[in-house]
Amino acid sequence: MRTMDWLRDQNPTSRAQARAGQAYLNWLRLRRNPLAMAGLLITVILLLVALLAPWLAPHDPIAQDLSQRLLPPLSPGYPMGTDEFGRDILSRILFGSRITLYIVLLVVLTAPVAGLFIGTVAGYFGGWVDAVLMRITDIFLAFPKLILALALVAVLGPGMVNAVLAIALTSWPPYARVARAETLTVRNSDYIAAVKLQGAGGGRVIWGHIMPMCLPSVIIRVTLDMAGVILTAAGLGFLGLGVQPPLPEWGAMISSGRKYLFEQWWVATMPGLAIFIVSLGFNLLGDGLRDVLDPRSAGK
Amino acid sequence: MALIEIENLSVTYRSKGRSVTAVESVSLGVEARQSFGLVGESGSGKSTILRAICGLAPVTGGTIRIGGDLVPTPRGRAFSARVQMVFQDPYASLHPRHTLDRTLSEPLAIHGIGQTDARVMQALDDVGLPQSFRFRYPHQLSGGQRQRVAIARALMLRPEILLLDEPTSALDASVQAETLNLLNRLRTERGLTFLMVSHDLAVIDHMCDRILVMQNGRAVEELSRQDLASAKMKTDYARSLFSASADRMLEP
Amino acid sequence: MTLLSVRNLKVSFDTETGVVEAVRGVSFDLGRERLGIVGESGSGKTMTGRSVLRLIRPPGRIEADEMRFDGVDLMGASETQMRALRGRRIAMVMQDPKYSLNPVMKVGAQLMEGLRQRDGLTRAAAHIKAVEALEAVQIRDPERVMLAYPHELSGGMGQRVMIAMMLIPNPDLLIADEPTSALDVTVQAEVLAILDGLVRDRGMGLIFISHDLRLVARFCDRVLVMYRGKIVEELAARDLLHARHPYTQGLLNCLPRIGGPRQPLPGLDRSADWAV
C-alpha cells in the first residue's frame, strides 16, 4: 500500500518519483484495456520462454535422432511431434524464441534510433537539410522491404547478424517520417519558442524538448512493426538467407517443413503458430500503448 | 534614451508566393522601468511586434534597439539574459513532459548558472507557488498556476525586460486579478520594464503607463493613461474600442 | 409559462482518480426569457447546457430528478426522440465557429443540407430560405457567403453563419455557450445585438452561458451564478451590481476598470464557507 501512495503522491519529492508516478498512471490506463493486457501477457511469456528455454525444453533442439523422425504431435515425449531429422519441434520452438527475440531487439535498438534522429533533425531545421534527408528516406521507402533486405543479404552473405542489419536498414524510413511529422507539429509551439528564447541551441532543443514528444509515436510504431520484423526475419529464414541451419529459427523451420506440408502438416504449422501468436501479441500491445502514450491524450 | 526603441518596424510573412504584412512601419519607445501597452483586435499585429523583438518573426524593415544597441540576429544568450517573454496560453507554453523543476532549471543549464536547487525553490516562492509543486507536471496544475510557472521561468535569468503576450486572456477573471497583481508586484520589486499586449483595454489600463492602439498592423494612436481614463482619444477607432470595452457594459 | 424545467441535475465523470462531479444538483426554470449562466472554468456551466440536450459522452453520466422541455421528459426520451428535438426545437451555438462548421463544405451547402433533408424543400426553395437566414443575421452579401468555405470567413462572420444555421428551424430554445468569446470586442457587440434581436422577435427561450458577468448582465433578464457545480446565486440581471453572495461580488470586483485605482485587484477568498 505504501508504494501505491508513493506513486500516487500529488507532490513528488524527486524527479525519479515524478517519473515513476507518471509511469504508474500510464500503467493504470493500460490495465483498463483487456486486449492490450493480452498482448502484454504474450510478450512477457515470450520473454520468459526465451530466458528459460534450456530448462523448459525437453530435448536438445539440434540433436538428431533419425529413428524418431516425423512423429505426429502428442507422441510420447514429443508433444508437438518431430521434424524430418527427428528433432523435437517443441524444443526447437522454445529455443527459436531466443533467436526471434534477439533479432527483434537488435532491430529495435538500431532502426528507430536512426529514424528518430534523422526525422527530428530534418523536421527541426527544415530547408535543404529536410529536403536532402527526406529524399534519401523516400529512396529507401520506394523499395519493397523484403527485396531490399534480400539484396543486402545477398551482398553481405547470409547469417543472423547480416539479416538483422538488412532488416534495420530497410525499416528506419517509416520512423523518420513519423518523427518528422511529429516534429513539424511541435516545432512552432510556444514551449519550443520559450526554450529558444532562453538561448538554447538546436542540439539541446531537439534532444531535450522535441525528441520526448516524438518518442511515444515512435514507440507505438515500433511495437506495431515488431510483428513485421519477425515476419521479415522469418521470410529471410524461409528463403535460406537468414539464420543458418541447424539453428532453430522459426522461418527456417517453416521452410524445411514445406516439403512435408501435406502428409506431416505439423512440421511447418507449429512454428507458423508461434510466429502468429507472437506477432498478434506485439500488435495488441502496440495498439494499447497508442491509447496510453499518444501525446494528444496525455494532457487530459 | 529609451530602453526599447523600435523604429519603422515592418514584419512580412511569406509563404507559397503570398506575402502578408503583419506589422507596417510601427515605431515606439519604452523607457526603463516603464510599462508600455499594445492594444488592438486580432490581426492588429500587436503580438507580432513582441515576436519580432524576440526573433520569432521575420523583420523586413526598420530597427529594434535594446539599450541603444541594435539587437543581433540570431538573438544569442546575452539577449535572452536581458529580454524574456510570457506567452498567452499557459497550456501551450510549458513542455507537457517536463516537470516544473526541469522547466525552471533549463535556462540555468543553458547559461551555465549553478545553484540550481536554491534558485528553483526561490523562483517558486517568488511567484507564490508551494515548493511541493517542484516535481509536478504541467497537467497537474490549473491555468493560473501554469501561468505563474511561465512567469517564474521568464524571470530565472533575471532579465530587465519582460514581454507579456496577453498573459491573462486565457485565465478566469479572479485568476487574472491574482496574476496581474503578481506581475505588478514583481515589476516594483525588481524594477522590470514591461511591454504588454492585450485586447482588453481595462487590463492594459490597469497595468500600463502608456498605450499604443493598433489596427491592421499599423499604429493608430498613442495615449497616456490619463487620456484613456478621461476618454480623450483623437481617433475614431480608439474611441470605438473604448466604447466596446466590456468594462463599459455595466455603466447604465 | 415554463419552457424548460430542471430539477436536481447532476453530471459526473468516472476517471482513473475516482468520480468527478461536474454538476452537483442544479435546478432552474426557464420561460420564454433570456437566462444567463455565469461561472469560471470548471463551474459546470457548459456541462449544464450540454445536459439539456443530453450531449454528454461516456464516461460522463447525467442524473436528474426531473428535466422537462415543453412537456417532453428529457431524461426518459429515447435517443431517436432526442435527435428529433436537437436542432429542430432546441438549438445550440458553440464558442468557436471554426470547430462547428464542416471545413470541406461550402457554407451554402451546409445551410441548405438541413432544409432539404429535414424539411424536404427543393433546391431552389432551400436556397431562398438560406439566403433569408443569412440576411437575418445581417450578412450584407449572402450570395457570396453561400459560396464561401468556412476558412474564408472571419470569426465574426463564421459565428453569424452558425447563428443563422441554428435559427433556420425556428427552435423554441437556443443554448449559446460562450458564443462571442472567440471574437474581438467590437465584433462581439454586433453579434450579441443580432442574437438579442432574433431572440426577442421570435419569442425564443435563451440560455446564455458565459464567463463574463458584465456581458450576461447586459444581455439577459435573469442570471444564475455557478461555482463548482452548484448555483450559488440567482438574481435579476439589473440587480447584479447589488449581488449579495460573496462569490458574485468577488467576480465583479476582481475585474480591472478603465481609470480605476492602481492598487492590487481584490482576489477571491476561496477559503470561505461557500467555497467548500
How far C59 CA lies from chain B's nearest CA (Å)? 20
Name the amino acid, one letter, at A81.
G
With CA atoms as reference, the chain C residue closest to B169 would be: C181
**Residue corresponding to grid cell 496525455:** A298
Cα A9–chain centre separation: 33
Print the SS3 string covering B61-121: EEEEEECCEECCCCCHHHHHHHEEEECCCCCCCCCCCCCHHHHHHHHHHHCCCCCHHHHHH
From the list B178, B117, B116, the residue with the least C-alpha distance to B143 is: B178
Residue A96 contacts residue A249 (beta carbons within 8 Å): yes
Averaged pLDDT, A280-297: 78
Cα dihedral A288, A289, A292, A296 sign: negative
The whole-chain average pLDDT of chain A stands at: 86
How far B111 CA lies from chain A's nearest CA (Å)? 8
How far C45 CA lies from chain B's nearest CA (Å)? 14
Residue C66 lies in a domain: no
The DSSP annotation for B199-250 comes to: S-HHHHHHH-SEEEEEETTEEEEEEEHHHHHTT---SHHHHHHHHHSGGGGG
Cα gap B235→B223, rounded to integer Å:
11
**Could you read off the pLDDT of A70-115 as tens digits, one per residue?**
888 888 888 888 888 888 889 999 998 998 888 888 888 899 999 9
Q: Which of B87, B135, B139 sits opposite A190 (nearest CB)?
A: B87
Cα gap C234→C229, rounded to integer Å:
14
Q: Strand B83-86: give its sheet, edge to edge.
A: B83-86, B161-165, B193-198, B35-40, B210-215, B218-224
pLDDT > 80? residue A3: no
Cis peptide bond prior to B74, omega within 30° of 0: yes
Q: Which of B81, B93, B106 sits opposite A190 (nearest CB)?
A: B93
pLDDT value at position B246?
Answer: 62
DSSP, res C53:
T
Q: Which of C40, C185, C268 sits opposite B241 (nearest CB)?
A: C185
Residue B8 lies in a domain: no
**Residue corresponding to grid cell 470605438:** B240
Percentage of chain A beyond pLDDT 90 is 29
**Could you read off the pLDDT of B185-218 as tens digits, one per residue?**
999 999 999 999 998 888 999 999 999 999 989 9
Assign B248 a pLDDT band (cuts: 50, 70, 90): low
How far A299 CA lies from chain C's nearest CA (Å)? 14
pLDDT > 50? residue A26: yes
Side-chain half-sphere CA neighbours of B246 within 13 A: 25
Q: Which three cell numbers stand for residue C146?
A: 453561400
- Give the three-state DSSP class for C27: strand
Percentage of chain B beyond pLDDT 70 is 97
Cα gap B104→B122, rounded to integer Å:
11
Cα gap B205→B214, rounded to integer Å:
15
**Could you read off the pLDDT of B224-246 as tens digits, one per residue?**
988 888 888 899 999 888 887 76
Q: How many interface pairs between A and B have CB atoms less than 8 angstroms apart?
A: 90
Q: Which of B41, B176, B205 sits opposite C185 (nearest CB)?
A: B41
Q: Do B206 and C260 touch (CB under 8 A)?
A: yes
**Could you read off the pLDDT of C136-174 as tens digits, one per residue?**
888 888 888 888 888 888 777 888 888 888 888 888 898
Averaged pLDDT, C79-100: 82
Q: Do B136 and A213 touch (CB under 8 A)?
A: no
Rounded to 5 degrees, φ, ψ at B112 are 60, 40
The DSSP annotation for A154-194 comes to: HHH-SSHHHHHHHHHHHHHHHHHHHHHHHHHHHHTSHHHHH
Side-chain half-sphere CA neighbours of C49 within 13 A: 27
pLDDT value at position B252?
Answer: 46
How far B250 CA lies from chain A's nearest CA (Å)? 35
pLDDT > 80? residue C1: no
**Could you read off the pLDDT of A169-208 as tens digits, one per residue?**
888 999 999 999 999 999 989 999 999 999 898 899 999 9
Q: Do B110 and A299 touch (CB under 8 A)?
A: no
Residue C40, chain B, CB below 8 Å: the answer is yes
* Residue range of the domain that includes B176: 32-55+73-250
Rounded to 5 degrees, φ, ψ at A107 are -65, -45
Residue C5 lies in a domain: no
| CATH number for B145 | 3.40.50.300
Q: Do C185 and B202 touch (CB under 8 A)?
A: no
Q: How buried is residue A17: exposed, middle or buried, by Cβ count under 10 Å (0-12/13-18/19+)?
A: middle
Q: Do B93 and A213 touch (CB under 8 A)?
A: no
Residue C252 contacts residue C233 (beta carbons within 8 Å): no
pLDDT value at position A300?
Answer: 38
CA distances from residue C46 to C14, C39, C43, C91, C94 in whole angstroms, order as listed: 18, 9, 8, 14, 10
Q: Do B91 and A299 touch (CB under 8 A)?
A: yes
**Could you read off the pLDDT of A137-172 as tens digits, one per residue?**
999 888 887 888 888 888 888 888 888 888 888 889
pLDDT value at position A250?
Answer: 87
* Residue range of the domain that includes C246: 30-55+71-275
pLDDT > 70? residue A296: no
Averaged pLDDT, B67-80: 90
pLDDT > 60? residue A299: no
Residue C61 lies in a domain: no
Query: Which residues on chain A are in Cβ contact (under 8 Å) with C16?
Result: 25, 28-29
Report C:183-222 residues touching B (Cβ under 8 A): 184-189, 211-215, 217-218
Residue C20 lies in a domain: no
CA distances from residue A284 to A40, A49, A93, A107, B222 in whole angstroms, order as listed: 8, 19, 22, 19, 63
| Beta-carbon contacts of residue A271 (< 8 Å; ≥ 6 apart) | A89, A92, A93, A96, A250, A251, A253, A254, A257
Q: Which of C155, C217, C257 sits opposite B247 (nearest CB)?
A: C257
Which residue out of B44, B172, B220 would a mutagenesis test of the C interface target, given it has the greatest number of C Cβ atoms within 10 Å? B172
Helices (H), C203-245: 213-219
Residue B1 lies in a domain: no
pLDDT value at position C272?
Answer: 66
From the list A250, A260, A271, the residue with the least C-alpha distance to A71 is: A260
Assign A239 a pLDDT band (cuts: 50, 70, 90): confident
Residue C89 lies in a domain: yes
pLDDT > 80? residue A293: no
Residue, of B32 and A66, whose pLDDT is higher: B32
Residues of A engaging C, defined by a Cβ cutoff of 8 Å = 25, 28-29
Assign B156 a pLDDT band (cuts: 50, 70, 90): very high
The whole-chain average pLDDT of chain C stands at: 85
pLDDT > 50? residue A292: yes
Cis peptide bond prior to C59, omega within 30° of 0: yes
pLDDT value at position B95?
Answer: 93
CA distances from residue A17 to A12, A14, A23, C240, C274 in whole angstroms, order as listed: 6, 5, 10, 48, 36
Q: Which three cell numbers stand for residue B233?
A: 482619444
Name the amino acid, one letter, at A230.
I
Which residue out of C14, C15, C16, C20 would a mutagenesis test of the A interface target, given it has the greatest number of A Cβ atoms within 10 Å? C16
Query: Which residues on chain C are in Cβ contact (under 8 Å) with A29?
Result: 16
Q: Do C250 and B247 touch (CB under 8 A)?
A: no
From the list B7, C18, B249, C121, the residue with the least C-alpha distance to A28 is: C18
Averaged pLDDT, C183-210: 83
Rounded to 5 degrees, φ, ψ at B130 are -65, 145
Residue B92, chain A, CB below 8 Å: the answer is yes
Percentage of chain C beyond pLDDT 90 is 9
Residue C130 lies in a domain: yes
CA distances from residue C211 to B134, B169, C201 in whole angstroms, order as listed: 31, 12, 26
* Count of structural domains within chain C: 1
**Residue corresponding to grid cell 422577435:** C201
Cα gap A57→A45, rounded to integer Å:
15
Averaged pLDDT, C97-115: 83
* Count of structural domains within chain B: 1
**Residue corresponding to grid cell 476561496:** C270
Domains of chain A in start order, with CATH, are 34-59+76-298 (1.10.3720.10)
Assign C275 a pLDDT band (cuts: 50, 70, 90): low
DSSP, res A206:
I
Residue B66 lies in a domain: no
How far C101 CA lies from chain A's nearest CA (Å)? 22
The DSSP annotation for C91-132 comes to: EEE-S-HHHHS-TTS-HHHHHHHHHHHHS---HHHHHHHHHH
Assign B50 a pLDDT band (cuts: 50, 70, 90): very high
Residue B134 lies in a domain: yes
**Residue corresponding to grid cell 523451420:** A253
Q: Do C188 and B199 touch (CB under 8 A)?
A: no
Chains with 3+ CB–CB pairs under 8 A to C are A, B
Residue, of C33 and C154, whose pLDDT is higher: C33
Cα gap C177→C33, rounded to integer Å:
16
The answer for B38, left when phi > 0, alpha when psi is -120 to 50, beta otherwise, is beta
| CATH number for C240 | 3.40.50.300
β-strand partners of C92: C175
pLDDT > 60? residue A298: no
Query: Which residues on chain B are in Cβ contact (under 8 Å) with C254?
Result: 173-174, 176-177
Q: Do A198 and B97 touch (CB under 8 A)?
A: no
From the list C88, C47, C57, the residue with the least C-alpha distance to C177 is: C47
pLDDT > 50? residue A1: yes
